Structure 1
Amino acid sequence: MVKNTSRHGQRWLTLALVLILSLGTLLPVTASAADSTVTANAPTAVAQPAGISEHAYETQSALQLAQAVRSGQTTSTQLVKQAIAKVKADNPRLNSVITLREDAALKEAADLQDTGQKFLGVPILIKGLGHTIAGMPNTNGLLASRDNVTKSTSRIVKNLQAQGFIVIGQTNFPEMGLLNITNSKLYGPASNPWNLADNPGGSSGGSTASVADGMTPVASGSDAGGSVRIPASWSGVIGLKPTQGAISSDSSADTATTVNFVETKTMADTAALFAGLKNATFKLNAVPAQLKDTPIAYSTKSPVGTPVSQDAVDAVHQAVNFLKAQGFTVKEVNAPTDGVALMKAYYLLDTSAGSVANYISAPKLGHAITTNDVSTLDWALYQASKRVTADQTAAARDTIAQAKDQMARFHEQYPLYLTPTTATTAPANSDPSVLPAYEAKLAKIDQLATSEDQLQLIYDAWLHGLSKSPFTQQANLTGEPAISLPTYVSPRNGMPLGIQFNAAKGGDDLLLKMGDLFESHHLFKLLQDRQAPTTATTPTTPATPEAPKTPATKPATSTPKPAKPRQTKPTVRPVTKATPRKVLVTKKVIVYRHLTGTKVAKTYAKHQRSTAHVFNVLGTVRAHGHLWYRVSGGYIKAAAVTPLYYQHPTSKVKTLQGIYAYSGKTLKHAQRQRYIKPGRVLKIKRLVKTGHVTRYQLRNGDYITANKQFIVWK
C-alpha cells in the first residue's frame, strides 16, 4: 500500500477500517448461503387469514400493511411471501435487488411478536451499501469483495428491525456509492420502473426502483450527496435527508455528511419513520402555527452554472403557483453560496473513497487497484488521494464552513428554499456517468504534474453526471435537512421529476409539514397511480408465474366484490406509436382468457431471444395495478414480455436518448466506439436484421440500436 501520513490519509484509513469490519459476499437474487439451512415454521392447523390482494400489497403504505397484520386481516408471513413473489417476478427486468434472504425472512416473520411496533411484520428491502445484515453481502460494490460475508448487522438495520420490519433482501447500488446512477462492474445497471431504458438514479437507486415498483412499501437508503433524493426524484417517490445527527444511527460530527434513512411513498410513513429512527436527544425547531406564514425562497438556477431542463423549471413553477394560491409568500432568490467552490471541496474530500477502495481490495488482489478492478473514476480518485495535502483538506473544510454560515443566515430570512431536486428527468442507461473522452483522461491521471491538475480533471469528468443533479450536495455539506417530493411528471417523456425543499438545521418537521401539504392536495405523482385499476373494486389477480402458490398469494380484498365482476368489460386502447406492436417471450408467460385471471389459455416457456415466441399486440389495458397487452387468445402482462421494435429502412434517424456507436452489429461493450448525444441526426447506410434484433449501420460503418425507445426516423 502507498504510505500516507497526512490527516487526509488518516481519514480514509479510519473509514476503511469501519467498512471492512463487515465485508460480505455477492449472491444471486435467491436465498442467501446463510439461509440454506433455515426453514420457515411448519404451518399449523389454525386457519390462516384470507390476506390482502396483490394490488393492495403493492399500493398500501407500510403503516397500512402493519395495521392489516395487527388486525388479523393478514400475517407477516403472507406479506413476506407476497413481497418475495413480487421481487422474483419483476427483478429480472429491473435488477433493483441483488440478494434475497427468503428463508431467514420467513422465519423472522413467523417468530415475530407484537410488542407495539409501528411497522409490525412489514417487508423491507435494505440498501446493499453500508446497511449490513449478518450472513449477507457487504461488498461496497467492489469486484474484489464479491466473496465476503458480514457477521454483523448495522445500527440502521437493527433500528428498522426494532420498528417491526422484516428484511427480505438488499438493493442495488453503484461502486462505493459514488454515482448519481445505479451501475457497477459487479452488479450491472438497475432499470427505472417508469421506463426500463432509463436508470432510477443513485446511489440508492435499487431502493427507489423497488419502492416505486411496489416490491416493498419502503426501502432503506443513505445520502452523502443526494443519494436518497436524486433517485427519489427520478423514480417518483419521497426522499427525505434529515438534519445531520438527527437519526440515531448517524454521526453528529461537524465533518459528517452521510445520513441514513428510507425511501417512501407516503408522508405518514416518512413521518413515522423519522420519529421512530430519530435520536431522542435531537432538538427540532418549532413549526409556525400557520404554515403559510413561512417565507419561501425558490430558484431554478443550477448552483454550478450548468443547464436546467424545462421540465425542472416547470416543476418548480408549478409548485410556486400552488404555494401562492395557498397564501404563502414566495420569492425568487438564489442561494448565497459558491456552488462550484463547494463541489470542488466535496470532490477533494471524496478522493478518500478511492483510497478506501484500494485499502479493501489490494490485500485480496495482491496488488494496488487498477482500472480492471474498479471503475476508472474510483481508480482516479485513488491516484489523486496520494497527493492531497493537509492544507488542501483544511481549505476545503473552510469552504464548507463558510457555506454553513451563509445558509444559516439565509434561512433566518427564508426558512424554506425550493429548487428542483434534479435538473433533468432520469438519464438513459446508455448515458455514461463519465463521458468516454474523460474516461480516457482519467486513466492517465497519474501522469498529471500537480494535485491541482488532477482535482480539476476529476471535477471536469464528473460534470456530465453532476449537471443532471447539481441541487442536492449542498445540504449534505451544510448538514441541513432536505426533502424531494414527487409532484411532477414530464409531459414530454412521461418521466417523474421531484421538487426539493431545504430547511435550516433542525427544520425537519417543517419539511414534513410541507410534504403533508402537497400530498393532502393530491399533488403527488406516483407510478402506482398511473397504473390504477380500471374499476373501483380490486379483484384478486393471479400470482406471477414465478410466485409460490401458497395461501398468501391467493388473498381476498377488504372491499366488497361486485355481484358479477366479469360483466365489467375492460377498455382496450388501440396500439399507438408509444406501444410496441410486437413483444417477445423471454421468460415464462401465461396468456389469460380474461383479466380476472381465472382461466389460462396457454403457457409459454422461457426461451432465448433468437427463438422466443412473438405476440402481435392488439391493444393495451390498465387493470388491477398492471399494464396488460391484448393479444390473440387473451391477455398477457406487459411486465412479463420484452418489446420487439422492428424498424424499416430509412436514410436518417434522430437520437431520442444518448446511445453508443459500435464497431460490430452485436453491440457488445468491447465494441463501443463513441457516445452519441440525444438530438443528433445520423445518416443510415442500411438496416440489419438478426433474428428478433434490428440494428442500423451508419454511413461510417458503425452500428447503432434500432430500438424505437432510443431513435426515431428523421
Structure 2
Amino acid sequence: MTIRSDRAGAGNIGPGVGAAPSGAQAGGAHVVPRARSGENTPADLSAERLLSAYSTGELSPVEAVEAVLARIEQDDPALNAFCLVDPDKALKAAHDSTERWRRGEPSGRLDGVPTSVKDIHLTKGWPTLKGSMASSTEGPWEEDSPVVARLREQGAVFVGKTTTPELAWKGVTDGPLTGVTRNPWDPSMTPGGSSGGSAAAIAAGMGPLATGTDGGGSIRIPASFSGICGIKPTWGLVPHYPASPFGSLAHTGPMARTVGDMALMLDVISGFDSRDWMALPTPGPGLAGAGLGENPRELVRGMRIAYSPTLGGQYVDPEVARVVADAVRVFEELGAEVEEVDPGLPDSRHDFHVLWYTGAAKATEALTDAQRELQDPGLREIIEEGLTYSAQDYLTAMATRMAMGARMGRFHETYDLLLTPSMPIVAFEAGLESPPGSDDRRWTSWAGFSYPFNMTQQPAASVPCGFSGSGLPIGLQVVGPRHSDARVLRACRAFELARPWSYHRP
C-alpha cells in the first residue's frame, strides 16, 4: 500500500498522459481531441463491458485490475489523482473474483470491477485523511462508510483512494496534504473538485468507477471539467456516514465514464443504512437505472423540458453557451418538447456561504492552533467568516432553501426536467481557486449552476456534451424534481445514445 503526500512532491507534471499532445502550444493550449476508435486495454472498458467479458470468459478480473494498475503507474505521476494505491490488496481481490467467475458464482453486480474511493469515505483497512494534514494516519481503520460497504458487498475491487481538497471544501482539487491534482485533457488545468481525483482517474482510464461527494457541485464540477458523467442523487437516496458537517447540502453519488455505469453504481449504493438517521427507504430493485435502453426517442418521448441558458442571468462563456445550446437541440430532435424558460431562483450565494462556512467551522472546532497552521489558507479564511454568523443568519439561510425548494417543486409540476450548462466556463489553471483575472477568489463565484440544486436537494447530473476550441470538455446539466433520479438518468442516456462521447479520450 502506498500513501501519497505532497510532502514528497506529489502533483508535479511528469511523463505519460501529462505529456503535451502533438501540435499543442506552450501554456497548455490543446488541439481538439481526436476520436479514438475501439479500446486499447481493459483499462479503457466500461464496468458494463467488463462484466459482460467476465461472464463469457473473454476477460478476467485479474487482467482488468492489472491493466488499471499499469495505467495508474504510467499516468498518475502526471495527474496526482490518487492519494493511496494498494496493488497487493487489489490483485488479491481480483484473483478471488476471477475464481468466482470461473465457477459461475459472481458475488454481486460489480464483482471484479476496478473501483476507487474518494478520500472522504471511510474504507476498512485504509486511512481516510480527508485531504487534511491535521488528520492522523494511525488506525485502526475498521469501518466502511455506507457507499463503500455496498460496493464491497457487490464485489467491487478497490484499487485506491482519490485526492480531494481539504475536507472537500472547494470546487477544485489541491491542498497542502496531496498537492495539485491535474486534468487529463491538459495537465496544466484543474480537473475541478472536490471530487477531482475521482474524475481525473476515470477520464484517464484508471478505473471505470469512483465515489464522489457533492455539497455544492463537487461531483458535477469535475465531471464537466474532466469529460465524464456523474450524478448528485436526490438527497438521502444514498446514505452518508459519518454525517457531513455540511449537513443536508452534502450528497454522495457515482462517477463514471458512461451513463449505464453511473446508473448501475447508483443502484448498488442506494438504500437505507441505519447509521444515517435521515436516509431514505431502500428503493425498489433497479429504481435508479430503470428504463435505460437503446432507443433515445423512447427515453424522452412525451417529456416537457425547460432550458435555462443562464439560470437567472449568470455569465456563461460564449463558447460554452454555443455547445450547450447545440446539445439542448438534440432533445428537440428526439421528440421532447423543449422551452427556453428560467425557474426564477433567487441569488442564494450568500445563504449558501452561511451554511457552507459554518459547516467548515464546526468540522474544525477541535483543532489545535498548530493544526490550524497546517490548513489550506482558503479554508482558514472561510472558517473565520463562518464563525461570524449567528443562529439567526443560519435560520435565514435555511428559510431561503425552503423557499427555493418550494419554487422548484412548483416549476416541476409543469416541466419534467431542467437543462442548463453544468459549468459556465471550461477548466482553468490548476492550483487556483478561481480563474486567472477573476475579481472574486471564492469558487462559488463561478459555480452558480451547481450549488442552487444542493440547496433544493434535487437530483442533478452532468454529462459531456462537447469540447472547447482548446480541447477542454464542456458539460450539460440535467436536473429533475426530487425523487426523479430514474428520469434524469433516462434523459442522460438518451443524450449519450444520440451523441456518444466515450470514444473521446484524453
TM-score bin (small chain): 0.7 to 0.9
1:308 aligns with 2:321: no
Aligned partner (choices 147, 167, 181) of residue 176 of structure 1: 167
Cα separation, 1, equivalents of 2:449 and 2:500: 20
Aligned partner (choices 340, 348, 370) of residue 354 of structure 2: 348
Q: How does 1:300-699 map to 2 (within 5 A)?
A: 300-303=309-312, 305-338=313-346, 340=347, 342-359=348-365, 361-362=367-368, 367=369, 370=372, 372-429=373-430, 431-433=432-434, 461-462=441-442, 465-490=443-468, 492-521=469-498, 523-526=499-502, 528-530=503-505
Q: 1:306 to 1:267 in 2, by over 3 A?
A: closer
1:72 aligns with 2:57: yes
Structure 1 position 147, deviation (Å)? 3.2
Aligned partner (choices 152, 165, 174) of residue 143 of structure 2: 152
1:118 aligns with 2:120: no
Q: 1:467 to 1:497 in 2, by over 3 A?
A: farther
Q: 1:170 to 1:520 in 2, by over 3 A?
A: same
Structure 1 position 73, deviation (Å)? 2.6
Q: 1:255 to 1:529 in 2, by over 3 A?
A: closer
Structure 1 position 248, deviation (Å)? 4.3
Q: Is the 8 A contact 1:483 1:511 kept in 2?
A: yes
Structure 1 unaligned segments of length 5 or more: list them.
1-24, 30-52, 439-459, 532-714
Between the two proteins, what is the percent identity of the paired residues? Answer: 29
Q: 1:469 to 1:388 in 2, by over 3 A?
A: closer
Partner of 1:165: 156
Partner of 1:228: 219
Cα separation, 1, equivalents of 2:343 and 2:395: 24
Partner of 2:180: 189
Aligned partner (choices 115, 124, 143) of residue 133 of structure 2: 143
Cα separation, 2, equivalents of 1:282 and 1:97: 32
Q: Is the 8 A contact 1:239 1:483 kept in 2?
A: yes
Q: Is the 8 A contact 1:354 1:383 kept in 2?
A: no
Q: Is the 8 A contact 2:311 2:420 kept in 1?
A: no
Deviations 1:637-668 (A, max 9, x none): xxxxxxxxxxxxxxxxxxxxxxxxxxxxxxxx
Cα separation, 2, equivalents of 1:368 and 1:357: 16
Structure 2 unaligned segments of length 5 or more: list them.
7-37, 272-280, 292-296
Structure 1 position 192, deviation (Å)? 0.7
Q: Is the 8 A contact 2:116 2:162 kept in 1?
A: yes
Q: How does 1:4-153 map to 2 (within 5 A)?
A: 27=4, 55-112=40-97, 113=100, 114-129=105-120, 131-145=121-135, 147-149=137-139, 150-153=141-144
Cα separation, 1, equivalents of 2:342 and 2:381: 33
Q: 1:314 to 1:146 in 2, by over 3 A?
A: farther
Aligned letter for 2:85?
L
Partner of 2:231: 240
* 3-state secondary structure, aligned to 1:293: coil
Aligned residues: 450
More divergent stretch after superposition (222-231 vs 399-408): 222-231
Cα separation, 2, equivalents of 1:70 and 1:489: 35
Cα separation, 2, equivalents of 1:102 and 1:245: 33
Cα separation, 2, equivalents of 1:28 and 1:474: 33
Deviations 1:600-642 (A, max 9, x none): xxxxxxxxxxxxxxxxxxxxxxxxxxxxxxxxxxxxxxxxxxx
Q: Is the 8 A contact 1:139 1:148 kept in 2?
A: no
Cα separation, 1, equivalents of 2:147 and 2:353: 26
Q: Is the 8 A contact 2:358 2:387 kept in 1?
A: no
Deviations 1:268-318 (A, max 9, x none): 212222222222634779989773311111112154x54210122112210
Partner of 1:276: 268
Q: Is the 8 A contact 2:163 2:196 kept in 1?
A: yes
Structure 1 position 98, deviation (Å)? 1.1
Deviations 1:376-401 (A, max 9, x none): 22212222333322211111110100
Aligned letter for 1:326?
L
Deviations 1:73-131 (A, max 9, x none): 332223222211110110010111111111122222223343451221111111112x1
Bigger CA radius of gyration = 1
Q: 1:167 to 1:139 in 2, by over 3 A?
A: same
Partner of 1:11: none
Structure 1 position 210, deviation (Å)? 0.7
1:260 aligns with 2:252: yes
Deviations 1:38-82 (A, max 9, x none): xxxxxxxxxxxxxxx982313211121122223323322232222
Cα separation, 1, equivalents of 2:268 and 2:3: 31
Which one scores higher on RCO, CA 8 angstroms, separation ≥ 6? 2
Q: Is the 8 A contact 1:488 1:524 kept in 2?
A: no
Aligned letter for 1:489?
F
Q: 1:331 to 1:246 in 2, by over 3 A?
A: same
Deviations 1:138-178 (A, max 9, x none): 11222222534433221111111122211010111111111
Deviations 1:227-264 (A, max 9, x none): 11110001101111111112245789x96122212211
Q: Is the 8 A contact 2:5 2:178 kept in 1?
A: no
Cα separation, 2, equivalents of 1:467 and 1:248: 29
Partner of 1:211: 202
Q: Which has the higher strand share?
A: 1
Partner of 2:303: 294
The alignment's C-alpha RMSD in Å is 2.9
Q: 1:473 to 1:437 in 2, by over 3 A?
A: closer
Q: Is the 8 A contact 1:181 1:199 kept in 2?
A: yes
Q: Is the 8 A contact 2:343 2:411 kept in 1?
A: yes
Q: Is the 8 A contact 1:221 1:263 kept in 2?
A: yes
